């Protein structure tokens, strides 16, 4: 599944990515600072996206038990 929000900047620093479910039960992968994220139908796809976006650092992916929400911000 294609993420709804793509990364606009991929720096060399390792990014912390949170993976969990939103209130509707969809899987969410969200960079800690909100730089990128996506909605997914299953955990495997969310984890694969998180690993791809953080430069292949599984130790920087945190699976959370609380609900997380993907928010859209439009900057002008």
Q: Can you say whether the dihedral through the CA atoms of 71, 48, 44, 65 is positive or negative?
A: negative
- Looking at residue 71, its pLDDT comes to 83
Backbone dihedral region of 33: left (phi > 0), alpha (psi from -120 to 50 degrees) or beta?
Answer: alpha
Residues 42-75 have pLDDT tens digits of 999 999 999 999 999 999 999 999 999 988 777 7
> Has this prediction a pTM greater than 0.85?
no
State the average pLDDT for the chain: 85
Report residue 36 as tokens: 């990128």
Q: Are 50 and 7 in contact (CB under 8 A)?
A: no
């Amino acid at each position: 599944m294609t993420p709804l929000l793509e990364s606009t900047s991929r720096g060399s620093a390792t990014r912390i990515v949170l993976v969990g479910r939103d209130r509707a039960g969809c899987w969410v992968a969200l960079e800690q600072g909100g730089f990128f994220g996506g909605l997914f139908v299953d955990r495997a796809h969310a984890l694969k996206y998180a690993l791809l976006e953080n430069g292949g650092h599984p130790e920087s992916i945190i699976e959370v038990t609380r609900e997380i929400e993907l928010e859209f911000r439009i900057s002008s």
